[in-house]
Amino acid sequence: MDKGLGKGLEAIFGEELVRENETVEWIHVEMIEANPYQPRQQFDDEQLQELAQSIEQSGVIQPIIVRKKGKKYELVAGERRLRATQLAGKETIPTIIREITDEQSMEYALLENLQRTNLNPIEEAQAYEKLSTALQLKQNDLAKRVGKSRPYIANMLRLLKLPQSVQKMLIEGQLSNGHGRALLGLKDESQIEPLAERAIQYFWNVRQVEQQVQQLNDNVSHETKKETPRNVFIESEEQQLEQYFGTKVQIKQTKNKGKIEIEFMTDDDLERILQLMKREQ
């Protein structure tokens, strides 16, 4: 068990997921509705079939967890077990009923999936975004909650900035999250999808994609310099500002006026930049 994720689960349900002296009820599978906070969108059919065969022979070893929802029940934990039970043709499943809030249900759906079966990169990123929004967590707090580093969370969330077509490539396993992060480095966003397609076609690893990104960016920079020769002083100041703020900075100057653009990716980045500005006042 991942230490960070384990602590997260214990914080929600106590040290044991199935507590001593807790009543297990056999509930009809048709009475159980899916968890709306389930981050997983795709399930491995082969793994489900194997689990269904195991259930046919030995039954469901660990009860699923549900909460009351009107006249029916809503699944909190154990979607693979529920799906496999239905696949095995069983009408009932061992179940524990608990009083659980929406917040707990959402958090557990994420943590259980991260702990037991890897989500694809986009599912994982969407789960972090949903959890952060619903619980109003900053990246540092979210990272602590799920047992990950803040840079890891930030990098995963950045994947949601990819075009939908490229996100689909990550969902289907054609590209890794490393490929996705490399593609986000392109200055010309219109080149992301074509480069992603070439990466799949030629079986490029992450390092090869990074090299292609660097080459394309150099070409963009070269064309920009040819079109609009820039003041050497301004370029030098841009570099110093980028080093200070730790992000991309552009100084745009016309004949009578100009502006400075400072790029930020997240609310945390914006807060960090603002603090640096205040420090100089």
Set 79, 112, 123, 124: catalytic member: 79
- The C-alpha atoms of residue 245 and residue 118 are separated, in whole angstroms, by 35
> Is residue 20 flagged as an active site residue?
no
DSSP labels, 137-195: --HHHHHHHHT--HHHHHHHHHGGGS-HHHHHHHHTTSS-HHHHHHHTT-SSGGGHHHH
Cβ atoms of 152 and 103 within 8 Å: the answer is no
Largest CA-CA distance found in the chain, in angstroms, rounded: 80
258, β-bridge pairs:
253
Instruction: Specify burial of residue 31 (Cβ count, 10 A radius: 0-12, 13-18, 19+).
Output: middle
Residue appearing with tokens 């499943």:
93
Cβ atoms of 67 and 99 within 8 Å: the answer is yes
Q: Which residues are catalytic?
A: 79
